Amino acid sequence: MHNRMDPLDRPGHTHGVPSQAAFAVASYNIHKGVGTDRRRDLLRTASVIAELNADVLALQEADTRFGTRTGLLDLKHLAEDAGLEAVPLQGTGLAHGWHGNVLLLRNALVQDVHQITLPGLEPRGAMVTDIEIAGQPLRIVNAHLGLLPQSRTMQAKAMLDKLNSMQQRPTLLMGDLNEWRTNAQAMRLFGHLFTHAQTPPSFPARFPLLALDRMMTSAHARLEDARTHISALSRRASDHLPVTARMQILHQGDVGVERGETP
C-alpha cells in the first residue's frame, strides 16, 4: 500500500531530524455513519475523515453489526479523495473491517496483519498491523473494547498476550476502549506496555464528558498534542468525536518495548 504523498512532505510536519518521523494519527468511532441527529449519512462521515487529514486512521463501527456485517464506507472514494487506503483483511466477506475495525493509511507499506477475536459477552475484535511509514517500522493496534469492565479486562489481557508473543517494534494502540477511568484494571494492564496519551473527553459528541477514545504508545514512540477534532460536522456525524495526535518514532529499526507509565 503506497499512496501519493509522503507524510513528511505534508503541511505541518517536521523536517530535518533524520532519526525521527512525525505524522498525524487519529481514531474515530463513526457509529455506523449514524449521527447525533439519528440520520445515517456516510458522505458526512467521509467529510469528517477528510477534515482529519491523518496519515494513520483507526476507525471503529465501520460495518453493520449483524447479519453479513456489510461495510458501510465508500473505500474507493476515500482512496481517491482523501488519499487513504484500507488495510486488506482475510475472511471478512462483505465487511470492510474486523468486528467493525478498519485501518486507513496514507503512504505506508503493510507488512503483516493479525485479526484477533477478543473474549467477552459481545462480539469484539482487534487488528494488529505492522507497517513501514516514512521509512520506519510501526505496529498499530486498532481495537473496540466491550461495555462491561470484566470484558475489557479480559480483552486487554488477550491483546497484551498477543503483543508479547510478537517481535517487538514501536507500537501505537488506539481505538474506542470504552474506558474513562485511568485507574481501571484494563488501563492499568495496558500501562505495563504503553504510555497513555492525555486524550480529552470524546463522548458524547455534542457535550463530551468521557474519554472513551484512547491513544497510547510503547517505548521509542511519542504522541504529542492529543486532542479531539471539533467541527460543525464532527459534532453531528457520530456520537463520538474523533481524537487526533502527532506521533514521532524516535529511533529507526526494530526496537525493544519497555514499560510505559500511566498518568
Domains of the chain: 20-249 (3.60.10.10)
Q: 28-80: per-residue pLDDT in tens? A: 999 999 999 999 999 999 999 999 999 999 999 998 876 666 788 989 999 99
Task: Give the pLDDT confidence score for residue 16 in this predicted structure.
Answer: 37
Task: Give the pLDDT confidence score for residue 20 in this predicted structure.
Answer: 61
Check pLDDT > 70 for residue 18: no
Strand order in the sheet with 136-144: 108-118, 124-133, 136-144, 171-176, 213-217, 195-196
Q: 101-159: per-residue pLDDT in tens? A: 999 999 999 999 999 999 998 889 999 999 999 999 999 999 999 999 999 999 999 99
Task: Give the pLDDT confidence score for residue 215 in this predicted structure.
Answer: 98
Task: Give the pLDDT confidence score for residue 71 in this predicted structure.
Answer: 85
Mean predicted confidence (pLDDT) in 85-92? 90
Q: 155-206: per-residue pLDDT in tens? A: 999 999 999 999 999 999 999 999 999 999 999 999 999 999 999 999 999 9
pLDDT above 90 coverage of the chain, percent: 76
Question: Which has more pLDDT, 89 or 251?
Answer: 89
Q: Which three cell numbers stand for residue 249?
A: 518514532
Q: Which class for 157: exposed (0-12), middle (13-18), buried (19 or more C-beta within 10 A)? A: middle
Q: Which three cell numbers stand for residue 188?
A: 492499568
- Rounded to 10 degrees, what is the CA torsion of 78, 79, 82, 83? 160
Task: Give the pLDDT confidence score for residue 129 in this predicted structure.
Answer: 98
162: Cβ contacts below 8 Å, ≥ 6 apart: 114, 116, 128
| Residue with grid cell 480483552, as numbered in its chain | 155
For residues 138 and 89, give the distance between their C-alpha atoms in angstroms, rounded to a whole number: 18
Output the average pLDDT for the chain: 88
**3-class SS at 113?**
strand
